[in-house]
Chain A
Amino acid sequence: MLEVTQLTKTYGRGASAVQAVGNLTFRVAPGEFVCIVGQSGCGKTTLLKCLSGLIPPTSGTAVLQGQVIDRPPDKLALVFQEYSRSLLPWMTVRANVTLPLRSKGIDSARREDLAEEALTAVGLSGFFDRYPWQLSGGMQQRVAIARALAYQPEILLMDEPFASVDAQTRADLEDLVLRLRDEFDVTVLFVTHDIDEAIYLSDRVIVLTPPPTRVREVVDVNLPRPRDQIETKGLPAFTRLRAHVFELIKREPAGSAGDEVLSDQHAT
């Protein structure tokens, strides 16, 4: 589905250069829910920008369904971290969701259908003609998710989508995303710095090192589905996984040989 090989990204040149992504290799299989965890500033947003074709990687490649990503692929949708800035305030909720469909050459009646279907799926059926800024943060993020789903992607990238909503809303949105990925049959690559969230959602968790960013370890999450906020998080396996990922993130970056071996083993 998605293959990332030796991808690096350095902003700027010379003395002021910032290496945002050290060297990443991983893959995402069709239908998988993969989370990427890493501390703030380790290049997660940069990685997603490379994957969505917004910026070119400095070296390495990202391949989506056999095609090298060198421009925004139309099989991919991105939910931004800054949802309130990503929704256009001069457009209604409906117009925000239908806008991307224009570039796909979908006729206007079909655009409306897709938008209504997606907005209804995220529980916003009564809000088509509101403006994004009239909605709460959680609702705005639902609009952003609906926009992504209406675009009919095969893979959905999400950049810390729930980092700035309250705990209850966050739990609701997590469950919403799990439900929607079944309903819309979409592969998800989800970035977060929250370990619990990563384990709760995913089939696999890719743990990143602090900069220069590499894959520290890929952790398989074999928790039963459907997941449940109370039940799943109460399982001993969940607690063990959390402790393990926590330990991986806290470990000194030192760049020891052991790290290299680990990342190579789990990279593919």
Chain B
Amino acid sequence: MTTAVGAGPALGADDHGGQRVWWLPWLTVLGVLASLEALSRSGAIPQDHLPAVTTVLTALGAELRNPTFWLRVWETVQAWGLGLAVAVVAGIPLGLAIGSNRLAYRIVRVLIEFVRPIPPVAVLPLAVLLFGTGVEMKVYLVAFAAFFPLLFQALYGVQDVDPVARDTARAYGLGPAGCFVWVTVPSALPYVATGLRLSAAIALIVTIATEIVVGSSGLGYAINEVRYASDIALMYGIILVTGVLGLAIAIVFRQLERRLLHWHASQRQGMAA
């Protein structure tokens, strides 16, 4: 903990320009891990609440050689991916369609504003009733949760087309279809990319929560399994894996956004922060 605080001013200096010291954040991580190890080894925190970092890593290392573990990882990734895909296929076109039609927007606005705040977990019993406890149920819930950010971002994106850009396209003879393809969709892209990043993160949360609550197979279920076996060290290990998964997803989508939106003001010349 002290190390983390100690690194604070240094991080601040990093923000103020100068050279970027890429290893500084990692130093913080290393410092925190070392402190945790010390706290646990010294007995300041009971080992059965917080096993030493090295113990956790050893347990996880052994687990990595277990094919069942990788099956669990795959089950989680699969439900996440399928659910997100359904949300993308449904949410983005629907958002683009509703957003570009004022009448459609007015008709469905109240409905979606009403459905949106329903927490996905509240729909969980319904999903179990309809789809059982297998992968379909997870996909359904994930899709439900990931759908709304995509829908709304696409919807807002379409409505934020620069009128000058649209007038330009129209003045140069592009019809409604041409304007949609060449102007509206690219204008909405930054919004959609943000929606995608949000949805991807939400989808993982919902996947793992569902696995824990319902007990459908996946990393969430694995966490429960080791809890019953009182293998606290491995439990920390698997929690760490879910964190790594979340980080990987965040990085992949951030990268995708950079590629897709290299022309956008937020991404130019690596100014994004």
Given contacts A80-B167, A86-B165, A131-B263, contact A100 B173 (CB under 8 A): yes
Residues from chain A with a CB closer than 8 A to the CB of B162 are: 85
Of the four ranges (under 10, 10 to 19, 20 to 34, 35 or more), the interface on chain B belongs to 20 to 34
B268 contacts the other chain (Cβ, under 8 Å)?
A: yes
**Nearest B residue (CB) for A48:** B171
A99 contacts the other chain (Cβ, under 8 Å)?
A: yes
Residues from chain A with a CB closer than 8 A to the CB of B264 are: 89-90
**Nearest B residue (CB) for A134:** B268
A99 touches B172 (CB 8 A): yes
B186 touches A85 (CB 8 A): no
A88 touches B171 (CB 8 A): no
Choose, from B114-122, B144-152, B175-183, the stretch at the interface: B175-183
Task: Tell me how far the C-beta of A66 lies from the nearest C-beta in chain B, rounded to whole angstroms.
Answer: 19
List A residues 95-135 near B (Cβ within 8 Å).
Answer: 99-100, 102-104, 131, 133
A90 touches B263 (CB 8 A): yes
B227 contacts the other chain (Cβ, under 8 Å)?
A: no
Given contacts A54-B171, A80-B164, A80-B167, contact A103 B178 (CB under 8 A): yes
B173 touches A88 (CB 8 A): no
Residues from chain B with a CB closer than 8 A to the CB of A103 are: 172-175, 178
Of B165, B167, B186, B189, the contact of A54 (CB 8 Å cutoff): B167
B172 touches A100 (CB 8 A): yes
Q: In the bound complex, what is the Cα–Cα distance between A131 and B174 (angstroms)?
A: 21
Task: Tell me how far the C-beta of B166 lies from the nearest C-beta in chain A, rounded to whole angstroms.
Answer: 9
Task: Tell me how far the C-beta of A35 lies from the nearest C-beta in chain B, rounded to whole angstroms.
Answer: 20
A82 contacts the other chain (Cβ, under 8 Å)?
A: yes
Residues from chain A with a CB closer than 8 A to the CB of B183 are: 88
B101 contacts the other chain (Cβ, under 8 Å)?
A: no
B182 touches A53 (CB 8 A): no
**Nearest A residue (CB) for B178:** A103
Binary interface profile of A, 138-153, with partner B (CB < 8 Å = 1, else 0)? 0000000001000100
A52 contacts the other chain (Cβ, under 8 Å)?
A: yes
Task: Tell me how far the C-beta of B86 lies from the nearest C-beta in chain A, rounded to whole angstroms.
Answer: 27
A72 contacts the other chain (Cβ, under 8 Å)?
A: yes
Residues from chain B with a CB closer than 8 A to the CB of A54 are: 167, 170-171
Of A53, A89, A90, the contact of B171 (CB 8 Å cutoff): A53
List A residues 69-98 near B (Cβ within 8 Å).
Answer: 72, 74, 77-78, 80, 82, 85-86, 88-90
B168 contacts the other chain (Cβ, under 8 Å)?
A: yes
Given contacts A133-B263, A151-B172, contact A85 B178 (CB under 8 A): no
B173 touches A89 (CB 8 A): no
Task: Tell me how far the C-beta of B223 lies from the nearest C-beta in chain A, rounded to whole angstroms.
Answer: 43
A86 touches B168 (CB 8 A): yes
Would you mind naming 23 contact pairs between A and B with Cβ atoms under 8 Å apart?
A53-B171, A72-B170, A72-B171, A80-B164, A80-B168, A85-B162, A86-B165, A86-B167, A88-B182, A89-B264, A90-B263, A99-B172, A99-B182, A100-B173, A102-B178, A103-B173, A103-B174, A103-B175, A104-B173, A131-B263, A133-B263, A133-B265, A147-B172
Binding site for A on B (CB under 8 A): 162, 164-165, 167-175, 178, 182-183, 186, 189, 263-265, 268
Binding site for B on A (CB under 8 A): 49, 52-54, 72, 74, 77-78, 80, 82, 85-86, 88-90, 99-100, 102-104, 131, 133, 147, 151
Which 9 A/B pairs are nearest by Cβ-Cβ distance? A100-B172, A103-B173, A85-B164, A90-B186, A86-B168, A90-B263, A78-B171, A52-B171, A82-B164
